[in-house]
């Protein structure tokens, strides 16, 4: 007798990153053409040395091996509230903050607190695949918005207004976006907030990559709205900011009613985020502003180098949108699926990227490149391999 698997889970495809890595599993790469990994968004650099030294000093403290408060340590919540209040010029309190085991968990718990089987959540396409996977596993219908390729991947609030029904519970925005890298203008974010507020639904704003913006100011003014706590749930990640992805630490900012419900889910799912990860995030907030700024500039330099490399006259691939860790590319191979193009790049060019089809419907003409793993001086090699690949089709 076999297990009776939940059909909502079995209907969901395996994790895309795992599937892509199977394409190159067990392969040896020659020294003259090493693997270029454009698949997963993870910083190529280690954490700041002083952060590692701090963790080595505190790891044997008894509290590092114990549960923290469900919503995170008071020190981290207060420090993060102060950071957000300063960055957004807003009144953010520690009571508004919840710390989770990564931003993915913050999203998952928020969605469970908002919606159930048969409900709907609006996702601009192409969307972060884990968001879509989670909705499907909960029996929540993901309602996509059309990919606005001609508008640098910025979604249309008017289209979203026409897709809200009695079952809609939330709109999800990710800016800077995964997978496209698009950075939504403040006016667009405000329009979606006002739409959600007017319709009595939540706006989930995922800002995992906010610390890699091309500008130094706040990307929106939503937290300055006096009534933001009735509509907005803002999600964050410390993992990418401080290069501590393995420590699993993220968080959310939300009003008291929904935050209390999210905390129930947190207690059941993990009880609390890892104590050592929270210590790392607190140290980063208190000590690593200069290091964080250096890494922001490093990311921007990589983006600039990629754009320059992709400007070759003999390159038929097109950068549709790019920012933070990502670039969304239109491939030139009409009639070929994105998966076939990505697989052949892996097989023939030793370059691993993700097909657009992993990110929703209507994406067969696109590939996602995550350039966080690639140094600026190697961007020309990406373009050169793409040129070489064109003749193979």
pLDDT of residue 342: 97
Residue 195 in this model has a pLDDT that exceeds 80: yes
Domain boundaries, the chain: 12-41+291-392, 49-287
Residue 121: pLDDT band with limits 50, 70, 90: very high
Q: Contact, 189 vs 155, CB < 8 A?
A: no
pTM of the model: 0.95
Fold (topology level) of 49-287 = 3.40.640
* 232-237, strands of its sheet edge to edge: 97-100, 250-253, 232-237, 202-206, 168-174, 120-124, 141-145
Residue 1 in this model has a pLDDT that exceeds 80: no
Residue 45: pLDDT band with limits 50, 70, 90: very high
Work out whether strand 250-253 and strand 232-237 pair parallel, antiparallel, or are unpaired.
antiparallel
- For the chain, what percent of residues have pLDDT higher than 90? 94
How does pLDDT run across 257-294, given as a tens digit for each residue?
Answer: 999 999 999 999 999 999 999 999 999 999 999 999 99
How does pLDDT run across 317-332, given as a tens digit for each residue?
Answer: 999 999 999 999 999 9
Q: Which residues of 254-271 are buried (b: 16+ CB within 10 A; e: fewer)?
A: bbeebbeebbebbeeebe
* Class of the CATH-defined domain 12-41+291-392: alpha beta
Residue 363 in this model has a pLDDT that exceeds 80: yes
pLDDT of residue 216: 85
Residue 373: pLDDT band with limits 50, 70, 90: confident
Q: At what angle do helices 275-287 and 49-58 cross, to 10 degrees?
A: 140
Residue 6: pLDDT band with limits 50, 70, 90: very high
Residue 158: pLDDT band with limits 50, 70, 90: very high
Residue 41 in this model has a pLDDT that exceeds 90: no
Residue 102 in this model has a pLDDT that exceeds 90: yes
The full DSSP string for 359-375 is G-TT-TTEEEEEGGGS-
pLDDT of residue 2: 83
Residue 22 in this model has a pLDDT that exceeds 80: yes
pLDDT of residue 391: 82
Q: 313 vs 71, which has greater pLDDT? A: 71
- For the chain, what percent of residues have pLDDT higher than 70? 100
Q: Which two tokens stand for residue 21?
A: 């890595």
Q: Is 62 exposed, middle or buried (0-12, 13-18, 19+ CB in 10 A)?
A: exposed
pLDDT of residue 393: 78
Average pLDDT across the chain, whole number: 96
- CA geometry: angle 320, 324, 327, nearest 5 deg: 25
């Amino acid at each position: 007798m076999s297990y009776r698997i939940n059909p909502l889970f079995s209907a969901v495809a395996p994790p895309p990153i795992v599937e892509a890595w199977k394409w190159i599993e067990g392969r040896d790469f020659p020294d003259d053409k090493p693997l270029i990994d454009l698949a997963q968004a993870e910083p190529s650099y280690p954490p700041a040395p002083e952060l590692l030294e701090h963790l080595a000093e505190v790891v044997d403290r008894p509290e590092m091996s114990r549960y923290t408060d469900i919503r995170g340590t008071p020190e981290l919540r207060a420090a993060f509230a102060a950071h957000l209040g300063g960055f957004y010029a807003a009144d953010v309190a520690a009571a508004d903050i919840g710390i989770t085991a990564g931003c993915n968990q913050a999203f998952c718990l928020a969605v469970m607190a908002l919606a159930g089987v048969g409900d709907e959540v609006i996702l601009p396409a192409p969307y972060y695949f884990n968001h879509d996977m989670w909705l499907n596993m909960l029996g929540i219908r993901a309602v996509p918005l059309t990919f606005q390729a001609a508008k640098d991947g910025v979604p249309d609030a008017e289209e979203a207004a026409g897709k809200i029904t009695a079952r809609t519970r939330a709109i999800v925005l990710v800016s800077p976006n995964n997978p496209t890298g698009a950075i939504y203008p403040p006016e667009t974010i405000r329009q979606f907030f006002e739409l959600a507020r007017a319709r009595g639904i939540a706006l989930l704003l995922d800002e995992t990559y906010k610390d890699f913006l091309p500008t130094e100011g706040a990307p929106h003014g939503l937290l300055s709205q006096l009534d933001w706590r009735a509509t907005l749930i803002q999600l964050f990640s410390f993992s990418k900011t401080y290069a501590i992805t393995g420590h699993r630490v993220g968080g959310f900012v939300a009003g008291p009613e929904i935050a209390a419900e999210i905390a129930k889910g947190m207690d059941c799912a993990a009880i609390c985020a890892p104590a050592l990860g929270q210590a790392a995030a607190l140290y980063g907030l208190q000590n690593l502003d200069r290091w964080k700024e250096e890494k922001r500039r490093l990311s921007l330099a990589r983006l600039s180098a990629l754009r320059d490399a992709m400007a070759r006259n003999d390159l038929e691939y097109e950068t549709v949108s790019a920012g933070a860790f990502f670039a969304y590319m239109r491939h030139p191979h009409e009639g070929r699926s994105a998966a076939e193009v990505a697989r052949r790049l892996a097989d023939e060019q030793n370059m691993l990227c993700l097909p657009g089809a992993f990110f929703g419907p209507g994406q067969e003409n696109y590939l996602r490149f995550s350039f966080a793993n690639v140094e600026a001086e190697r961007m020309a090699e990406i373009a050169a391999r793409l040129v070489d690949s064109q003749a193979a089709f």
